[in-house]
Structure 1
C-alpha cells in the first residue's frame, strides 16, 4: 500500500473497528498515490520541450547539428523531461491546483460508489479519502448521515489530519481522523444491537 506498511494497515484497521464498535455507521479509509496520471502534463511537457528544440534549430540558421542529430537530441530530451515529471514535486510545481482538486474529487466520488460506501443497509457509510500527490483529503457521507451532518462538521477533522501529515505522521493522521469521525458519528448514530460489519476495516490502496 502506498506509504503504508502492513503494521500501518493494522493500526488503521483497528481504529476503524473501534469506531464501528460504537456507531451504526460503516467507515472506510481509501488512499491513492495520485488521482490521475496527468497525461496532459507528463506527455505534454516532453512534447513541448522537443518542439522547442526544433524551433530553435530552425531559427538558429546554419548549424553543425544535422537532421539526424536533431532527431537524436529530441529523443533524449523527450525521455529525460518525461522521466523528470514522474518526480512528484516537479509534477506538483507545474500542474494547476484546480486540476489537482478536480481529479482528486472525481476519484473520491467514484470510490465512494465503487467501494460500497454508498448503499449500505442504513445508508450510513462514511468515506475518508486521501490522495497523496494532490494533498487532497475528503470525507464523503451517504445520505443517511449527510441529512444530519454537512461539510462544516468534517472540516475540523480534515484540518487535524492535514496538520499531522505535515509533521510526517500519516498513520497518526488516519488514526486521529478515524477516531474524530467516530466521536461525531457515535453521538447521532449509536451502534444498534443488530448492527453488522458490511465493509472491510482495513484501508484500501488504489
Structure 2
C-alpha cells in the first residue's frame, strides 16, 4: 500500500508533537488511515436487491420475455394445450433466471470499485466506522496507559474524509469535548484542501495550547508515547 505521507511530512508532524508536549504533561498521538473499512457488503447487497426487483421490472416493462427469439421457440399446437402452457412457463422461468443472474453480475461489478463503495456507503455508517476504528486504535496504541490518563489522539480517515479527536479520562474531566470542535473543523478543512500535514501541525499546536492550560509541563518530563504519526 502506498504511503500517504513522505518522510519529510513525518518529520514535521513529529517535531510539532515534540514542541506541543514541551508545554504540557499531556501526550499527543496522530494516526492517518487510508480507509477504515472495505464496504464489500455493498455490491452484494445492491446486486441482491436488484435481483429481487427484476421480476417486477420484467412484469412492467417486458411481459413477453419468454417469447424473446434469443431463447428460441418450439413447435406448439394451434390450440393452447396444457403442454403448451407448461412449456411457456418453463421458458419464462428460464429466461427470468438468466436475466437475474446477468443483473446480479452487472450490478455487483459496477459497484465493486472501492471509490464507488465509499460513495454508496451511508454517511452515518461511515461516521460509525471511523469512530469505532479511532477508539480501537486509541486502545491498541496504548493511549489509555499514560500515568495521569492524559493521552489525546488525532485520527484521520482519508478515504472517508473524516477526522476524529479522542481524549482520555484525565483530559475529559477538565476539558469539554466542545473545546476541541474548532480544532477538528480546521483540520478537516485543511485536509479537504489537500494540506493534510499543515492541518495536522496546526491542530497539534492548538491541542498543545489547550492542554498547557490544564496540564502544565512536569519538572522532569516523561515522554510516555512516541512522538510520531502512524499510517494505517
TM-score under structure 1 length normalisation: 0.84
Asked whether the 8 Å contact 2:27–2:150 carries over to 1, the reply is: yes
Q: Which residue pairs with 2:19 in the alignment? A: 18
Q: What are the within-5 Å matches in structure 2 for residues 13-92 of structure 1?
A: 13-49=14-50, 60-63=65-68, 64=70, 73=102, 77=106, 80-84=109-113, 86-87=114-115, 90-92=116-118
The SS at the match of 1:178 is helix
* Cross-structure match for 2:75: none
Are 1:132 and 2:158 an aligned pair? yes
Asked if residue 101 in structure 1 is aligned to residue 127 in structure 2, the reply is: yes
Unaligned runs of at least 5 residues, structure 1:
none
Q: C-alpha separation between the residues in 2 aligned to 1:204 and 1:190?
A: 26
Cα drift, residue 163 of structure 1: 1.8
Which has the greater radius of gyration?
Answer: 2
Task: Supply the RMSD in Å over aligned alpha carbons.
Answer: 2.6
User: Which region of structure 1 is more displaced relative to structure 2, 151-160 or 93-102?
Assistant: 93-102
Structure-2 change in CA distance of 1:183 and 1:69 (3 Å): same
SS at match of 2:188: helix
- Which residue of 2 is the match for residue 122 of structure 1? 148
Give the CA deviation at 1:80. Answer: 2.6
Q: Is 1:110 equivalent to 2:111 in the alignment?
A: no
What's the offset of the Cα at 1:134? 2.2
2:80 aligned partner: none
Deviations 1:141-184 (A, max 9, x none): 11111111011110110111122122211111111111110111
Helix, strand or coil: the match of 2:32? strand
Which 5+ residue runs of structure 2 have no aligned equivalent?
72-93
TM-score under structure 2 length normalisation: 0.76
Count of residue pairs the alignment pairs up: 203
Whether the 8 Å CA contact 1:45–1:81 is kept in 2: the answer is: no
Task: Tell me the SS of whatever aligns to 2:144.
Answer: coil
Per-residue displacement from partner, 1:92-131 (whole Å, max 9, x unpaired)?
4322111111111111111111111112112110011111
Give the 3 Å change call, closer, same or farther, for CA 50–71 of structure 1 in structure 2.
closer
